[in-house]
Structures are given as C-alpha cells and as structure tokens.
Amino acid sequence: METERSPDKENGRKKRRSSKATKSPSVVQKLKKIRRVKANDRERNRMHNLNGALETLRDRLPQFGEENKLTKIETLRFAHNYIWALSETLRMVQNQQLQMDGQKNLQLAASLALQGPKNINKLTPNSPCSYSPQPQLQDYNYSFNFDCQQQYHPYHLE
DNA sequence: TAGGCCATCTGGTCCT
DNA sequence: AGGACCAGATGGCCTA
C-alpha cells in the first residue's frame, strides 16, 4: 500500500522550510515593527543606564551648585582633570613627605581634593606650584576658568 | 532667532 | 535570530 507523501519531503529529503515563505508580507511587517519597538526600548534603557552612570560620576565630583550643573561633556572632561589633579596632589605629598611632617601634607592633600575646582588651578603647569608635569600630560591644556562672572570652561581636547 | 544640549528613533555592524 | 553598541538624524527645550 502506497503511503501518502509528505508535502515536506521531496526525493526522500526534508524540504527546508523558508520562514519568509510561510509568513505573509503583513505578518513580516508586523514582526519588523515589533522588533523595532523592542530595540527602541532597549536603546532607551541603555541610554538611561549611561546617564545614570554619568550622574553617579557627577555626584562624585566637587559640586558647583544645582544651577551650574555640568553638561555631559563637561562632566567627563572635569572628571579627567580631577583625577589628574588628585594624582598630582598625591605625588606631591609623597615627595614632600620625606622633608616635612607627613600628617600636615595629608591634611593639605585632603583639603585640596575636597575643595576641588579652585584648587585644581593650583596644579596647572603655569602655576607657581612647584612640580614638573609628566611629558604626556603636556598634550592637554589643564587650565580651568572658575571665574564666577563667566561660564565654566573645561579644558579643550583637540 | 541661532546655537547648545538633550532624548529618542533608526539603521548598520558586530557578537553570541 | 536577537541583543549590544554606535553614529546620524530629528525635534523639543532653553538661553543669550
């Protein structure tokens, strides 16, 4: 007795089912739209996470007051400089520790770090502050302008 | 009103 | 296939 041939089989082989062939154009469109909406949602969440991380970073930096909230790019640039300033402070303290009372220097470093922006000016290459900048640091302009009458200008990265 | 900043959408690319 | 990441486009809001 001859068995009925499966429509999926041709010459003994299983016919590959094309997903496109089984879906009408309207269904494909619908699926595309659903995928797009989901992707948009993920992208939105991703950006919210990114902004959350940026906000956390902003909170770790010296504050300028709510009305002077740093923009995203300013936050990143300032964080860059702030880390550099802290590193320099630490280095200076370590150097001077041999000559001076270590406890006093630690207090100085702590106050410089905590007071933040205004003290970063003290660490710029042109300042009277005695230290020698590392060569790679000369690629940047580390100067800040914290004049209260003017807009805050972070350094410029070329 | 121009320019800066931002959120969101979108399509492309890479990776798992 | 689907998710993550990215960059370009777009439109809204705000300020000088």
**Whole-number pLDDT of residue A148:** 23
Domain-by-domain residue ranges, chain A? 25-114
Residue type, A40: N
**Whole-number pLDDT of residue A25:** 77
Nucleotides of B under 7 A from a protein CB: 4-12
Planar angle of CA A50, A53, A57, nearest 5 degrees: 140
Closest nt by CA–C1' to A151:
C16
Of chain A residues 46-105, which have a beta carbon within 7 Å of strand C? 46
> Does domain A25-114 match CATH 3.10.150?
no
**Whole-number pLDDT of residue A152:** 32
Phi-psi region of A78 (alpha: psi -120 to 50; beta: other; left: phi over 0): alpha
Closest nt by CA–C1' to A35:
C2
**Whole-number pLDDT of residue A65:** 64
pLDDT-flagged residues of chain A (< 50)? 1-20, 115-158
**Whole-number pLDDT of residue A98:** 67
Distance A81 CA to B8 C1' (A): 31
Q: What digits encode the pLDDT tens for the residues A125-149?
A: 322 222 222 323 323 333 333 322 2
